[in-house]
Structure 1
Amino acid sequence: MKNRPSYAVESVDNALLLAQLLVLEGPMRVTDAATRLGVSPSTAHRLLAMLVYRDFAEQDADKRYRAGPLLHGSTTAVPLSVLRQAALPHLQRLVDRTEESANLLVLTGDEARFVHTVECERPLRVGDRTGKALPARVSSAGKAMLSVLDDDALAAALAGLEPTERAKVRRALRAVRQNGFALNNEQTETGLTAIGVPVRWADGMVAGISLAMPTARFSRDRVPGWVHELHGCARAIERSLSATN
């Protein structure tokens, strides 16, 4: 996991995050952008105007903004705003029940990309990962998503690995299928442990959800309970997605 630079420029960070959201979630209005970034509509409008000026965004006739020419080819076939809207209330309930942060992710090539995070309210917690990406083979939700791909899709996702590493990942994924969940115990970040399960949606597409917590609070004795809550959340998201079709 990349750490936020100590010298981060907030306006630049907001602009780049907004460009990511246009790719991940599809077209949005100024008010949508303001809500997602937690800024005023006037600030969101200025950010969008600059993205349009630099070809990272473009405006439709209906005044919505979408990913621009420089980002064409990166957009998803199905706007992830549909997935996010369906998942958000269920993720919130998951956080309320477990008192740990929850994430929604999608698979993009060989990476697991965070679509949305619902943070818990505990002082020591895992923070917002929205827009970040991790190698799918080491993240919990990434492994969960890889575990349900068909043979061709899995081969494509692992094509960049050396044969020995590819075989190692395939063995790990067999265990994920057998167990019904995937674990990331400090594989991507020291002091962070996460548990992930897959979510099926949109013509065979797959997403993933995870519970992320400080490793100091992780206990293997609690894994069955956390997995039960994750599976319940995943099924609820799938039902909400089916209702939108």
Structure 2
Amino acid sequence: MTEAPKLKSGRARSGEAGSVRTLERGLSVLSALAELREATLTQVAKKAGLSASTTYRLLETLRQQGYVEWEERSGLFSVGLRAYQVGAAFSERNSLLSAAGAVMQALVEEVNETANLAVLRGNEAVYVHQVEASQLMRMFTHIGAAAPLHCSGVGKVLTAWLPPAEVRRKVGDGPFPAYTPHSITTLAALTRELNTVRGQDYALDDEERELGVRCLATPVRAASGEVVASLSVSAPTSRFPKKNIPDMLGRVQAASEQISARLGWRG
């Protein structure tokens, strides 16, 4: 004789309902933040239709899990890398990662150097995809690692097209950390460098973050023309001398333009 299913107590059902309600509120906060891009606690609470105290508790929980980031200097919240990774799992045809994967693989097979794709998250450039080369000595970083904006190729590309006030808010007034003797350490020097990056449509990390390593980065654009990512190739200076920059630039730019075209850019 089949045993009848046991009914859960009212207290258990109440607890489950409370958990579901909390989850719903947490998702509404994350959705509000995604629309706002970067916002204060008050702005997120207003957008989500919740009290400031409830919104803060939810944001703090999401921050601890990596779904939200908080920039102490500005007091602004933004969507975190973990949320990006979850979203990336739902890979649509024209999403950034699916648009970039095959193109990056072809680029690495062509130049035999490691290629990386980075996006802007808060005040850092975060690597979201990588294709390694077969070289014995190869330049690589792990997915989710961050690079400073002032002395990395991807960081300079991702900030070059931002309004000056936003650049200053993200990097501060300086002086910036000097990773090598070649690192940019002042806001004035960085401003000049970003002007150059915009003018030439690429950035070079010429041993600025690590001695003996050169990195060339180009912008990836969405259909609107907005720079949404940066594609880069890094190599030891012994394999990537300055005389090879024009040739490497042509190859990396062609790849970034292919990715951009897959995202709908027609520039």
Interval of TM-score (by shorter of Structure 1 and Structure 2): 0.5 to 0.7
* Residue identity opposite 1:219 in structure 2: P
Partner of 2:229: 207
Kept in 1: contact 2:107–2:252 (CA 8 A): yes
Q: Which has the higher contact order (CA 8 A, sep 6+)?
A: 1
In the TM superposition, 1:58-73 aligns within 5 A as 70-73=65-68
Percent pairwise identity: 30
Partner of 1:235: 257
* Residue identity opposite 1:141 in structure 2: V
Unaligned regions of 5+ residues in structure 1, if any?
A: 1-66
Partner of 1:19: none
Q: Secondary structure at the match of 2:68?
A: coil
Unaligned regions of 5+ residues in structure 2, if any?
A: 1-61, 70-78, 90-94, 177-184
Distance of aligned partners of 1:69 and 1:108 in 2 relative to their CA distance in 1, 3 Å threshold: closer
Distance of aligned partners of 1:103 and 1:72 in 2 relative to their CA distance in 1, 3 Å threshold: closer
Q: TM-score, normalised by structure 1?
A: 0.64
Q: Secondary structure at the match of 2:139?
A: coil
Q: TM-score, normalised by structure 2?
A: 0.59
Distance of aligned partners of 1:190 and 1:69 in 2 relative to their CA distance in 1, 3 Å threshold: closer
Measure, in 1, the Cα distance between the counterparts of 2:110 and 2:163. 33
Distance of aligned partners of 1:205 and 1:184 in 2 relative to their CA distance in 1, 3 Å threshold: closer
Kept in 2: contact 1:147–1:177 (CA 8 A): yes
- Per-residue displacement from partner, 1:35-67 (whole Å, max 9, x unpaired)? xxxxxxxxxxxxxxxxxxxxxxxxxxxxxxxx7
Partner of 2:146: 133
Q: Secondary structure at the match of 1:236?
A: helix
Q: Secondary structure at the match of 2:103?
A: helix
Kept in 2: contact 1:145–1:197 (CA 8 A): no
Q: Secondary structure at the match of 1:125?
A: coil
- Offset of residue 160 of structure 1: 5.1
In the TM superposition, 1:32-71 aligns within 5 A as 70-71=65-66
- Offset of residue 182 of structure 1: 1.1
Kept in 1: contact 2:221–2:263 (CA 8 A): no
**RMSD, aligned CA:** 2.9
In the TM superposition, 1:139-218 aligns within 5 A as 139-159=152-172, 161-162=174-175, 165-201=186-222, 204-218=226-240
* Residue identity opposite 1:94 in structure 2: L
Measure, in 2, the Cα distance between the counterparts of 1:216 and 1:69. 42
